[in-house]
Amino acid sequence: MQLFLIMIVNKKTAEYLQAELIYDGFRAASADGTLRQREIDAISALAKKLGMTEEKFQTILELYRE
């Protein structure tokens, strides 16, 4: 049971860290004042490699743009 709980916590931590990494990618890419489509595409490619869904990626992008 303890191992199962650790696995759940680790998965949630990993998902949180992935979301934070992608959000920070948007921040870094727009440091010059503009977030360009090619930058969004590059961050999207990273998100996919991390196993993030397109829906989750779009949610983070929307949060960033707020």
Does residue 39 lie within any of the structural domains? yes
Could you tell me if residue 59 is inside a domain?
Answer: yes
Query: In sequence order, what are the residues at sequence separation of 6 or more whose Cβ sits closer than 8 angstroms to the Cβ of residue 46?
Result: 21, 22, 25
Domain containing 25: what range?
18-65
Does some domain include residue 33? yes
2 part of a folded domain:
no
Residue-wise pLDDT tens digits, 17-66: 999 999 999 999 999 999 999 999 999 999 999 999 999 999 999 999 99
Q: What does the DSSP assignment read for the chain?
A: -HHHHHHHHHHHHHHHHHHHHHHHHHHHHTTTS---HHHHHHHHHHHHHTT--HHHHHHHHHHHH-
Domain count for the chain: 1
**For residue 12, is it within any domain?**
no
- The answer to the question of residue 46 being in a domain is yes
Radius of gyration of the chain (CA): 14
| Domain-embedded: residue 5 | no
Query: What predicted TM-score, i.e. pTM, was given to this entire model?
Result: 0.82
